[in-house]
Chains A and B, each alone.
Chain A
């Protein structure tokens, strides 16, 4: 970006990326010659993928790194999980805070009469009740899908309580799929301790990796139908896709530079520490909520409590289209936010901001208090101009 920009759209894609991540990306694009698993020079690429897979496994508490499947983003991971697991006649419990990356695959399967879906409503702050989620589970429920934190309100859901409730169901326990698009890199996630069967994570948000990266974790006893099939390097004589992971779910040449850079991003996050990242973002969140809350005519969505939210704040200014406000902030002040429905119309219906949506502000690790002050000042100016 050439001109001075105040970037407050980290919930979509974090920016800037740490310099070392960019350096790794360039290094891998320059030095890693060939497709992994296809012999010769590909061995170096394969070693890089192996090491990053190991880093990812450590990061989320997975015992076996072969259960980490690289994808191009969280949407791809969610599609592999949903389409690969569900069988005709299955029932799914999901929530009214889903992103379209969950809602749309389910809607297609629902329309095809392949699966039945129960969408549990969150309250107007986007908070789910544990009892409502557990109460929606039926004997034929194969899958419960939980968005760990909303991309619209930042609301953190009670993952461990829901997981504990599901685990207490013993043999007929449904699988738990967690969409960690807004939490991986901010909140600690341990797939074993939290009883997560499948975890979908983007590389380009709070992990500070490049776009085009992400992963899906699969629990050890879980077998999905692959939705992509093709060349896997090894086991080429098999007529069908191999059973062994990660190859079963990874066909074709992967994004080697991106994955190498994702590994460097994990190193960066590890050195920084999740506690420090969370503290920084929480301080900015509190400043933002206080600053916007003081402006007459502003409606803040969500609980406005950093203990219950990641650093995502949605708001509206009375009588003003969120798109108009966002446009002014960008054009007049170089402040980048995201307006509209954020690919999550269900969430906006839940919090009462459908169909116009909201202005969403999502600070990240590289934002400062000054960035937040300028945003608040910009919104105040718009409000004053409209009052004249």
Chain B
């Protein structure tokens, strides 16, 4: 199993659950987790994927309208936003 090292954060749980379905449909490996506190002080869910799946996931979210979305990766112990698509 590849390391699920990328965290995807949507502003609402509704979007997160919808995106989860789209990833499932596209056959992209993912895991739904609680939002890491260092990324967001909000309650709710985030999705972890492997960085290898980033491009395909981006395509799925754009095609299915799951926006806005932010992608995070851990760099030297801190979560860094590596991409943000759409306006909140």
Contacts and interface: CB of A to CB of B under 8 A. Distances in A.
A369 interface: no
Interface stretch (A239-247, A257-265, A318-326, A328-336): A239-247
Interface residues of A, number: 24
A50 B14 CA distance: 6
A46 B41 contact: no
A247 B14 CA distance: 9
Contacts of B12: 66, 234-235, 242, 244-247
Given A37-B13, A66-B12, A247-B12, A237 B42 contact: yes
A38 B42 CA distance: 9
Query: Contact size class for B?
Result: 10 to 19
A236 B41 contact: yes
A248 to B, nearest CB: 10
Contacts of B43: 37-39, 233-234, 236
Contacts of B65: 64
Q: Looking at B13, B15, B45, which has the most chain A CB atoms within 10 Å of its CB?
A: B13
A234 B44 contact: yes
Contacts of B11: 234-235, 242, 244
A46 B17 contact: yes
B17 A39 contact: no
Given A46-B13, A64-B65, A66-B12, A37 B18 contact: no
B40 to A, nearest CB: 9
Contacts of B14: 50, 53, 65-66, 245-247
Contacts of A40: 34
Interface in A13-67: 36-40, 43, 46-47, 50, 53, 64-66
Q: Looking at A37, A234, A235, A237, which has the most chain B CB atoms within 10 Å of its CB?
A: A234
Interface string B43-62: 11100000000000000000
Contacts of A37: 13, 43-44
A108 B58 CA distance: 48
A234 B42 contact: yes
A38 B45 CA distance: 9
Contacts of A39: 34, 43-44
Interface of B: 11-15, 17-18, 32, 34, 41-45, 65, 88
> Which 10 A-B pairs have CB atoms at the shortest separation, nearest pair first?
A50-B17, A39-B43, A234-B44, A37-B13, A234-B42, A38-B43, A66-B14, A244-B12, A46-B13, A233-B43
Given A37-B13, A234-B13, A244-B11, 8 more contacts: A39-B34, A46-B45, A65-B18, A66-B12, A233-B13, A234-B44, A246-B12, A247-B14
